[in-house]
Structure 1
Amino acid sequence: MPITADYIRIADEITADIRANKLKPDDKLPSITQLAAKYKVSPSTVKQVYVRLEALRVIWRHQGKGVFVNDPKLWMREP
């Protein structure tokens, strides 16, 4: 069984939470420090998570305010 990198696994979990409506558009995500503690990974791993999710348009960042869930209509494809 192939090993998935932590940052991909965490990004997939956040995306799954959005798809399941556990996270809604404009919900604020935890800080890098909080998410690192939750998943027991380094802050640099969480930075990779946020870079990946931002590139996929799943999240958006507001300098000094935080990281927020983007509207799924902007990035989610129909199955």
Structure 2
Amino acid sequence: MTMDFVKDRPIYLQLVETICGDVIKGKLHPGDKLPSVREFALESGVNVNTVQRVYKELEMLELTETKRGQGTFITTENDVIYKIREQMKEQVAMQFVSSIESFGFTVDEIIEVLQKKKGDS
């Protein structure tokens, strides 16, 4: 299953966000083992060096830990997962606001639309 990537963003960042998103959505759970670097490279259709960089970034975020001879695992620290969730929420919200402002909408107009949407749920 190769993945589709957007051209204007580094692939490794897109993969980091995908894995973070999978943790936040519950597709990956605390303590889950990630595929080996080679397996993930084949799965995603990218170079092994790219996956090594992805795993290094995830470890720097403290979302994963590598156990020598065993593999790479999602952290069991709920505080770390919560922190990453909050960071991603902030990042997505800021991208959204930037995007709507580029069309000339005000934040107040968008809040109004979101409140209507919330009322429809």
Q: TM-score, normalised by structure 2?
A: 0.60
CA RMSD of aligned residues (A): 1.7
Q: Percent sequence identity over matched residues?
A: 30
1:73 is matched with which residue: 57, 70, 79?
79
Name the one with the larger helix percent.
Answer: 2
Deviation at 1:75, TM superposition (A): 4.4
Aligned residues: 79
**1:39 counterpart residue number:** 44
Q: Where does structure 1 lack aligned partners over 5 or more consecutive residues?
A: none
Q: Output the CA distance in 2 between the equivalents of 1:39 and 1:2.
A: 15
Q: Looking at CA atoms only, which structure, 1 or 2, has the larger radius of gyration?
A: 2
Write out per-residue CA displacement over residues 34-75 of structure 1, whole angstroms, 9 at most, x where no aligned residue.
100011111000000000000000100000000000134224
**2:26 counterpart residue number:** 21
Q: Output the CA distance in 2 between the equivalents of 1:8 and 1:2.
A: 12
Relative contact order higher in (CA < 8 Å, ≥ 6 apart):
1
1:10 is matched with which residue: 11, 15, 26?
15
Matched position secondary structure for 1:29: coil
The within-5 A match list for 1:48-63 is: 48-63=53-68
> Structure 1: which 4+ aligned runs deviate by more than 6 Å?
none
Matched position secondary structure for 1:68: strand
Q: Where does structure 2 lack aligned partners over 5 or more consecutive residues?
A: 1-5, 90-121
